[in-house]
Protein backbone atom coordinates (compact mmCIF):
# COMPACT_ATOMS: atom_id res chain seq x y z
CA UNK A 1 0.00 0.00 0.00
CA UNK A 2 1.23 3.52 -0.68
CA UNK A 3 1.84 5.47 2.49
CA UNK A 4 -0.06 8.70 1.87
CA UNK A 5 -0.50 10.74 5.06
CA UNK A 6 -2.68 13.34 3.44
CA UNK A 7 -5.75 12.32 1.54
CA UNK A 8 -7.96 15.39 1.07
CA UNK A 9 -10.45 13.18 -0.75
CA UNK A 10 -11.50 11.71 2.64
CA UNK A 11 -13.32 15.00 3.28
CA UNK A 12 -15.20 14.63 0.03
CA UNK A 13 -16.35 11.04 0.38
CA UNK A 14 -20.07 11.56 1.10
CA UNK A 15 -22.55 14.39 0.61
CA UNK A 16 -22.87 14.79 4.39
CA UNK A 17 -19.15 15.08 4.95
CA UNK A 18 -18.81 17.45 2.02
CA UNK A 19 -21.45 19.63 3.62
CA UNK A 20 -19.80 19.36 7.02
CA UNK A 21 -16.55 20.79 5.68
CA UNK A 22 -18.15 23.33 3.36
CA UNK A 23 -16.53 26.70 4.01
CA UNK A 24 -19.06 29.07 2.49
CA UNK A 25 -22.84 29.13 2.17
CA UNK A 26 -25.36 31.54 0.75
CA UNK A 27 -28.20 32.49 3.05
CA UNK A 28 -31.16 34.44 1.78
CA UNK A 29 -30.35 37.20 4.27
CA UNK A 30 -27.06 37.78 2.38
CA UNK A 31 -28.96 38.76 -0.74
CA UNK A 32 -30.39 42.07 -1.92
CA UNK A 33 -32.80 41.86 -4.84
CA UNK A 34 -32.67 44.84 -7.24
CA UNK A 35 -36.12 45.86 -8.50
CA UNK A 36 -37.11 48.21 -11.34
CA UNK A 37 -39.98 50.63 -10.83
CA UNK A 38 -42.09 52.26 -13.57
CA UNK A 39 -45.01 54.71 -13.60
CA UNK A 40 -48.59 53.58 -13.87
CA UNK A 41 -50.94 50.96 -12.54
CA UNK A 42 -51.10 47.24 -13.07
CA UNK A 43 -48.20 47.41 -15.50
CA UNK A 44 -45.17 45.24 -15.95
CA UNK A 45 -42.74 44.55 -18.74
CA UNK A 46 -39.89 42.12 -18.94
CA UNK A 47 -36.44 43.56 -19.61
CA UNK A 48 -35.53 42.03 -22.97
CA UNK A 49 -31.86 41.54 -22.13
CA UNK A 50 -32.68 40.22 -18.63
CA UNK A 51 -35.13 37.30 -18.99
CA UNK A 52 -37.14 36.84 -15.79
CA UNK A 53 -36.57 40.42 -14.61
CA UNK A 54 -39.46 42.87 -14.87
CA UNK A 55 -40.16 46.56 -14.52
CA UNK A 56 -43.12 46.95 -12.20
CA UNK A 57 -45.61 49.71 -11.56
CA UNK A 58 -45.87 50.52 -7.83
CA UNK A 59 -48.93 48.35 -7.13
CA UNK A 60 -47.39 45.27 -8.75
CA UNK A 61 -44.04 45.99 -7.13
CA UNK A 62 -45.71 45.67 -3.74
CA UNK A 63 -47.04 42.25 -4.74
CA UNK A 64 -43.61 41.22 -5.99
CA UNK A 65 -42.00 42.27 -2.71
CA UNK A 66 -44.62 40.33 -0.78
CA UNK A 67 -43.98 37.22 -2.89
CA UNK A 68 -40.23 37.58 -2.33
CA UNK A 69 -40.66 38.02 1.40
CA UNK A 70 -42.77 34.87 1.52
CA UNK A 71 -39.80 33.09 -0.06
CA UNK A 72 -37.53 34.38 2.71
CA UNK A 73 -35.90 37.33 0.95
CA UNK A 74 -35.56 40.31 3.26
CA UNK A 75 -33.84 43.09 1.32
CA UNK A 76 -34.52 45.03 -1.85
CA UNK A 77 -32.79 47.73 -3.84
CA UNK A 78 -35.08 49.95 -5.91
CA UNK A 79 -34.31 51.66 -9.20
CA UNK A 80 -36.80 54.03 -10.85
CA UNK A 81 -37.42 54.47 -14.55
CA UNK A 82 -38.30 58.14 -14.98
CA UNK A 83 -40.33 59.47 -17.94
CA UNK A 84 -38.22 61.44 -20.43
CA UNK A 85 -40.33 64.59 -19.96
CA UNK A 86 -39.40 64.72 -16.25
CA UNK A 87 -35.67 64.63 -16.92
CA UNK A 88 -33.60 67.80 -16.85
CA UNK A 89 -30.04 68.99 -16.30
CA UNK A 90 -30.31 69.23 -12.50
CA UNK A 91 -32.28 66.01 -11.96
CA UNK A 92 -34.95 68.11 -10.28
CA UNK A 93 -37.45 65.24 -10.21
CA UNK A 94 -35.18 63.33 -7.82
CA UNK A 95 -36.00 65.93 -5.13
CA UNK A 96 -39.76 65.73 -5.61
CA UNK A 97 -41.09 64.29 -2.32
CA UNK A 98 -44.22 63.14 -4.16
CA UNK A 99 -42.36 61.72 -7.12
CA UNK A 100 -42.70 58.09 -8.19
CA UNK A 101 -39.69 56.91 -6.20
CA UNK A 102 -40.30 58.43 -2.73
CA UNK A 103 -44.04 57.73 -2.94
CA UNK A 104 -43.40 54.07 -3.68
CA UNK A 105 -40.81 53.74 -0.91
CA UNK A 106 -43.31 55.20 1.58
CA UNK A 107 -45.95 52.71 0.48
CA UNK A 108 -43.57 49.75 0.71
CA UNK A 109 -42.41 50.71 4.21
CA UNK A 110 -46.03 51.19 5.27
CA UNK A 111 -47.09 47.75 4.09
CA UNK A 112 -43.84 45.92 4.89
CA UNK A 113 -42.03 47.77 7.68
CA UNK A 114 -39.72 44.79 8.19
CA UNK A 115 -38.44 44.80 4.58
CA UNK A 116 -35.00 46.36 4.20
CA UNK A 117 -35.19 48.99 1.46
CA UNK A 118 -32.02 50.24 -0.17
CA UNK A 119 -32.23 53.21 -2.49
CA UNK A 120 -30.07 54.53 -5.31
CA UNK A 121 -28.45 57.96 -5.16
CA UNK A 122 -27.17 59.21 -8.52
CA UNK A 123 -28.45 61.69 -11.07
CA UNK A 124 -28.58 59.43 -14.13
CA UNK A 125 -32.19 58.17 -13.94
CA UNK A 126 -33.41 61.80 -13.72
CA UNK A 127 -30.78 63.59 -15.81
CA UNK A 128 -31.40 64.70 -19.40
CA UNK A 129 -27.66 64.13 -19.91
CA UNK A 130 -27.84 60.56 -18.63
CA UNK A 131 -24.83 61.14 -16.40
CA UNK A 132 -24.49 60.48 -12.68
CA UNK A 133 -23.34 64.05 -12.04
CA UNK A 134 -24.16 67.61 -13.09
CA UNK A 135 -22.91 68.36 -16.61
CA UNK A 136 -21.55 71.72 -17.77
CA UNK A 137 -19.78 72.29 -21.09
CA UNK A 138 -19.40 68.55 -21.54
CA UNK A 139 -17.78 68.07 -18.12
CA UNK A 140 -19.17 66.25 -15.10
CA UNK A 141 -18.77 68.67 -12.19
CA UNK A 142 -18.00 67.07 -8.85
CA UNK A 143 -18.73 69.59 -6.11
CA UNK A 144 -21.85 70.99 -7.81
CA UNK A 145 -23.21 67.43 -7.85
CA UNK A 146 -22.65 66.77 -4.15
CA UNK A 147 -25.44 69.02 -2.91
CA UNK A 148 -27.95 67.45 -5.29
CA UNK A 149 -26.93 63.97 -4.14
CA UNK A 150 -27.21 64.91 -0.48
CA UNK A 151 -30.70 66.36 -0.99
CA UNK A 152 -31.69 63.25 -2.96
CA UNK A 153 -30.53 61.07 -0.08
CA UNK A 154 -32.53 63.20 2.34
CA UNK A 155 -35.74 62.82 0.31
CA UNK A 156 -35.19 59.06 0.27
CA UNK A 157 -34.51 58.92 4.00
CA UNK A 158 -37.72 60.91 4.64
CA UNK A 159 -39.58 58.37 2.54
CA UNK A 160 -38.29 55.55 4.76
CA UNK A 161 -35.14 54.20 3.10
CA UNK A 162 -33.12 51.93 5.40
CA UNK A 163 -29.91 52.02 3.35
CA UNK A 164 -28.81 54.79 1.01
CA UNK A 165 -26.72 53.57 -1.94
CA UNK A 166 -24.67 56.30 -3.63
CA UNK A 167 -23.82 54.81 -7.04
CA UNK A 168 -22.47 57.98 -8.63
CA UNK A 169 -18.71 57.86 -7.82
CA UNK A 170 -18.33 61.61 -7.16
CA UNK A 171 -15.49 62.40 -4.74
CA UNK A 172 -16.62 63.22 -1.21
CA UNK A 173 -20.25 62.21 -1.58
CA UNK A 174 -20.35 59.77 1.31
CA UNK A 175 -19.21 62.47 3.74
CA UNK A 176 -21.67 65.06 2.46
CA UNK A 177 -24.55 62.57 2.50
CA UNK A 178 -23.67 61.37 6.03
CA UNK A 179 -23.49 64.95 7.30
CA UNK A 180 -26.80 65.91 5.69
CA UNK A 181 -28.55 62.82 7.06
CA UNK A 182 -27.17 63.44 10.55
CA UNK A 183 -28.08 67.13 10.50
CA UNK A 184 -31.65 66.04 9.82
CA UNK A 185 -31.77 63.39 12.54
CA UNK A 186 -31.39 60.43 10.20
CA UNK A 187 -28.44 59.06 12.15
CA UNK A 188 -29.86 55.53 11.84
CA UNK A 189 -30.05 55.50 8.06
CA UNK A 190 -27.14 53.48 6.67
CA UNK A 191 -24.90 54.18 3.69
CA UNK A 192 -23.80 51.38 1.39
CA UNK A 193 -21.27 53.10 -0.78
CA UNK A 194 -20.56 51.96 -4.31
CA UNK A 195 -16.90 52.21 -3.36
CA UNK A 196 -15.09 50.49 -6.20
CA UNK A 197 -17.45 50.97 -9.10
CA UNK A 198 -15.76 50.33 -12.40
CA UNK A 199 -16.53 51.84 -15.82
CA UNK A 200 -17.89 48.55 -17.07
CA UNK A 201 -19.54 47.19 -20.19
CA UNK A 202 -21.45 44.81 -17.91
CA UNK A 203 -24.04 47.53 -17.13
CA UNK A 204 -25.57 47.43 -20.62
CA UNK A 205 -28.83 45.59 -19.81
CA UNK A 206 -29.45 47.80 -16.76
CA UNK A 207 -29.24 50.92 -18.92
CA UNK A 208 -31.74 49.29 -21.32
CA UNK A 209 -34.07 48.64 -18.39
CA UNK A 210 -34.03 52.26 -17.22
CA UNK A 211 -33.26 54.08 -20.46
CA UNK A 212 -30.41 55.68 -18.55
CA UNK A 213 -27.45 55.41 -20.91
CA UNK A 214 -25.29 58.56 -21.07
CA UNK A 215 -26.40 60.89 -23.88
CA UNK A 216 -22.77 61.67 -24.74
CA UNK A 217 -19.39 60.22 -23.88
CA UNK A 218 -18.89 57.58 -21.21
CA UNK A 219 -18.51 57.43 -17.43
CA UNK A 220 -14.73 57.05 -17.32
CA UNK A 221 -14.04 60.36 -15.58
CA UNK A 222 -15.86 59.12 -12.49
CA UNK A 223 -16.14 55.32 -12.61
CA UNK A 224 -12.88 53.41 -12.14
CA UNK A 225 -10.54 51.97 -14.73
CA UNK A 226 -10.95 48.15 -14.81
CA UNK A 227 -7.16 47.86 -14.86
CA UNK A 228 -6.77 49.19 -11.30
CA UNK A 229 -6.94 47.56 -7.88
CA UNK A 230 -4.78 49.76 -5.63
CA UNK A 231 -7.12 52.61 -6.49
CA UNK A 232 -9.93 50.57 -4.91
CA UNK A 233 -8.06 50.71 -1.60
CA UNK A 234 -7.83 54.48 -1.88
CA UNK A 235 -11.57 54.74 -2.55
CA UNK A 236 -12.31 52.40 0.36
CA UNK A 237 -10.17 54.42 2.78
CA UNK A 238 -12.01 57.58 1.81
CA UNK A 239 -15.48 56.02 2.06
CA UNK A 240 -14.71 54.43 5.41
CA UNK A 241 -13.39 57.71 6.80
CA UNK A 242 -16.41 59.57 5.43
CA UNK A 243 -18.74 57.25 7.33
CA UNK A 244 -19.82 54.44 4.99
CA UNK A 245 -21.40 51.41 6.70
CA UNK A 246 -20.77 49.00 3.82
CA UNK A 247 -18.20 49.03 1.01
CA UNK A 248 -19.42 47.74 -2.32
CA UNK A 249 -17.51 46.39 -5.32
CA UNK A 250 -19.23 46.50 -8.69
CA UNK A 251 -19.36 44.49 -10.95
CA UNK A 252 -18.64 41.31 -9.01
CA UNK A 253 -17.33 38.54 -11.25
CA UNK A 254 -14.49 40.24 -13.07
CA UNK A 255 -13.54 41.91 -9.78
CA UNK A 256 -13.38 39.03 -7.29
CA UNK A 257 -9.79 40.04 -6.52
CA UNK A 258 -10.97 43.52 -5.56
CA UNK A 259 -13.63 42.03 -3.27
CA UNK A 260 -10.93 39.99 -1.57
CA UNK A 261 -8.55 42.93 -1.27
CA UNK A 262 -11.19 45.08 0.41
CA UNK A 263 -12.32 42.24 2.68
CA UNK A 264 -8.71 41.61 3.75
CA UNK A 265 -8.04 45.26 4.50
CA UNK A 266 -11.23 46.79 5.88
CA UNK A 267 -13.34 45.85 8.86
CA UNK A 268 -16.60 46.91 7.29
CA UNK A 269 -18.99 44.47 5.63
CA UNK A 270 -18.16 44.10 1.94
CA UNK A 271 -20.96 44.00 -0.61
CA UNK A 272 -20.72 42.98 -4.25
CA UNK A 273 -23.07 43.84 -7.10
CA UNK A 274 -23.58 40.91 -9.44
CA UNK A 275 -24.66 43.22 -12.25
CA UNK A 276 -27.09 43.06 -15.15
CA UNK A 277 -24.59 41.92 -17.80
CA UNK A 278 -23.39 39.09 -15.58
CA UNK A 279 -26.98 37.93 -15.20
CA UNK A 280 -27.70 38.32 -18.92
CA UNK A 281 -24.71 36.19 -19.96
CA UNK A 282 -25.83 33.27 -17.81
CA UNK A 283 -29.41 33.52 -19.06
CA UNK A 284 -28.36 33.70 -22.71
CA UNK A 285 -26.03 30.72 -22.51
CA UNK A 286 -28.57 28.70 -20.51
CA UNK A 287 -31.28 29.47 -23.07
CA UNK A 288 -29.05 27.94 -25.73
CA UNK A 289 -28.52 24.99 -23.38
CA UNK A 290 -24.78 25.60 -23.51
CA UNK A 291 -24.58 25.68 -19.71
CA UNK A 292 -26.75 24.54 -16.83
CA UNK A 293 -28.01 27.97 -15.74
CA UNK A 294 -29.10 26.95 -12.22
CA UNK A 295 -25.78 25.32 -11.37
CA UNK A 296 -23.80 28.19 -12.85
CA UNK A 297 -25.90 30.64 -10.83
CA UNK A 298 -25.21 28.81 -7.57
CA UNK A 299 -21.49 28.59 -8.36
CA UNK A 300 -21.34 32.31 -9.18
CA UNK A 301 -23.05 33.31 -5.93
CA UNK A 302 -20.72 31.08 -3.93
CA UNK A 303 -17.65 32.46 -5.67
CA UNK A 304 -18.64 36.01 -4.74
CA UNK A 305 -19.15 34.95 -1.13
CA UNK A 306 -15.88 33.03 -1.08
CA UNK A 307 -14.02 36.08 -2.38
CA UNK A 308 -15.20 37.92 0.73
CA UNK A 309 -18.53 39.62 0.05
CA UNK A 310 -20.98 39.14 2.90
CA UNK A 311 -23.73 40.93 0.99
CA UNK A 312 -24.62 40.23 -2.65
CA UNK A 313 -26.88 42.36 -4.81
CA UNK A 314 -28.13 39.99 -7.47
CA UNK A 315 -30.92 39.60 -10.03
CA UNK A 316 -30.75 35.89 -9.21
CA UNK A 317 -32.07 36.49 -5.67
CA UNK A 318 -35.67 35.45 -6.29
CA UNK A 319 -34.95 32.41 -8.43
CA UNK A 320 -32.30 31.32 -5.93
CA UNK A 321 -34.88 31.60 -3.11
CA UNK A 322 -37.33 29.60 -5.23
CA UNK A 323 -34.75 26.92 -5.92
CA UNK A 324 -34.42 26.32 -2.17
CA UNK A 325 -38.15 25.55 -1.91
CA UNK A 326 -37.92 22.73 -4.45
Residues near ligand PBG (CB under 6 A) are 120, 122, 124, 132, 167-168, 203, 206-207, 219, 275-276
Closest contact distance (angstroms) between CB of 236 and ligand PBG is 19
CB neighbour class for 299 (10 Å; exposed up to 12, middle 13-18, buried from 19): exposed
Residue 250 annotated in active site: yes
Question: What would the DSSP string read from start to end of 105-169?
Answer: HHHHHHH-TTSEEEEEE-STTTBTT--SSEEETTEEEHHHHHHHHHHHHHHHHHHT-SEEEE-S-
Tell me the three state secondary structure of residue 104.
helix
Of 44, 147, 156, the closest CA to residue 100 belongs to: 156
Of 134, 120, 125, 121, the closest CA to residue 87 belongs to: 125
Which one, 55 or 219, has the nearer CB to ligand PBG? 219
Which one, 66 or 171, has the nearer CB to ligand PBG? 171
CB neighbour class for 148 (10 Å; exposed up to 12, middle 13-18, buried from 19): buried
Closest contact distance (angstroms) between CB of 249 and ligand PBG is 13
Closest contact distance (angstroms) between CB of 265 and ligand PBG is 24
Distance of CA 281 to the CA centre of its chain: 18
Which one, 35 or 71, has the nearer CB to ligand PBG? 35
Of 265, 273, 89, the closest CA to residue 169 belongs to: 273
Closest contact distance (angstroms) between CB of 8 and ligand PBG is 37
Which one, 122 or 155, has the nearer CB to ligand PBG? 122
Contacts of 120 (CB under 8 A, 6+ apart): 77, 78, 79, 80, 165, 167
Closest contact distance (angstroms) between CB of 23 and ligand PBG is 27
- Out of 43, 109, 139, 250, the active site residue is 250
Closest contact distance (angstroms) between CB of 118 and ligand PBG is 11
Which one, 184 or 213, has the nearer CB to ligand PBG? 213
Cβ atoms 181, 164 nearer than 8 A: yes
- Out of 87, 197, 219, 283, the active site residue is 197
Cβ atoms 78, 37 nearer than 8 A: yes
Phi, psi of 192 (to 5 degrees): -105, 105
Residue 197 annotated in active site: yes
Which one, 35 or 60, has the nearer CB to ligand PBG? 35
| Residues belonging to the active site | 197, 250
Amino acid sequence: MTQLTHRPRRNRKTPTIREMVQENRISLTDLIFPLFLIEGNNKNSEVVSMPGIYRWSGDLLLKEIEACMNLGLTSFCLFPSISEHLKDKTAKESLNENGLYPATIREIKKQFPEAVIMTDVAMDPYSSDGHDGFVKDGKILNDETLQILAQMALVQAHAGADIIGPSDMMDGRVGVIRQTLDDNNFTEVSIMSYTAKYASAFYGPFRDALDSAPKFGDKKTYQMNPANSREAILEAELDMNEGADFLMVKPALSYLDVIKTLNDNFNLPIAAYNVSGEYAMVKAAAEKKWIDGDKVRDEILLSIKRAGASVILTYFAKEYAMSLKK
